[in-house]
Amino acid sequence: AQSVTQPDIHITVSEGASLELRCNYSYGATPYLFWYVQSPGQGLQLLLKYFSGDTLVQGIKGFEAEFKRSQSSFNLRKPSVHWSDAAEYFCAVGAMGSSYKLIFGSGTRLLVRP
């Protein structure tokens, strides 16, 4: 079955510290992978996406993610967290084509300590 697992419900980091949010997926075909961020009262904003090629992808707001096929993982990283990064982060997997639906993980809520 296709699924996405984000094992951490909450993560708290200090401002300026590094961040890694975990994402593991189960998908029958070659996956397309995404990270979205949701701030309170807002929609989901695309941070970055992986389709093919270089397994380290750069996104907006200084985020990056690395696709590791052998580990079925697509972890999100940021070297130095800012207070404005506090939000909920969703990993998603899907496949492109005429019929396109994303499967989302349950999300990780990031809290940033001053």
Partner 1 sequence: DSGVTQTPKHLITATGQRVTLRCSPRSGDLSVYWYQQSLDQGLQFLIQYYNGEERAKGNILERFSAQQFPDLHSELNLSSLELGDSALYFCASSDPRGNSPLHFGNGTRLTVT
CB of 70 to partner 1, least distance (A): 23
Given the complex with partner 1, which of 11 and 32 has the nearer CB atom? Answer: 32
CB of 16 to partner 1, least distance (A): 29
Given the complex with partner 1, which of 46 and 56 has the nearer CB atom? Answer: 46
CB of 80 to partner 1, least distance (A): 26
27 binds partner 1 (CB under 8 A): no
Site string for partner 1, 28-67 (x = CB under 8 A): ----x-x-x----xxxxxx--x-x----------------
SS3 letters across 27-63: CCCCCEEEEEEECCCCCEEEEEEECCCCCEEECHHHC
Q: Of the candidates 91, 78, 106, which has an alpha carbon nearest to the alpha carbon of residue 35?
A: 91
> What gap in Å lies between CA 39 and CA 21, rounded to an integer?
16
> What gap in Å lies between CA 65 and CA 73, rounded to an integer?
10
Cα angle: 59, vertex 105, 83; to 5 degrees: 50
Residues at the contact surface with partner 1, assessed by CB under 8 A = 32, 34, 36, 41-46, 49, 51, 90, 96-107
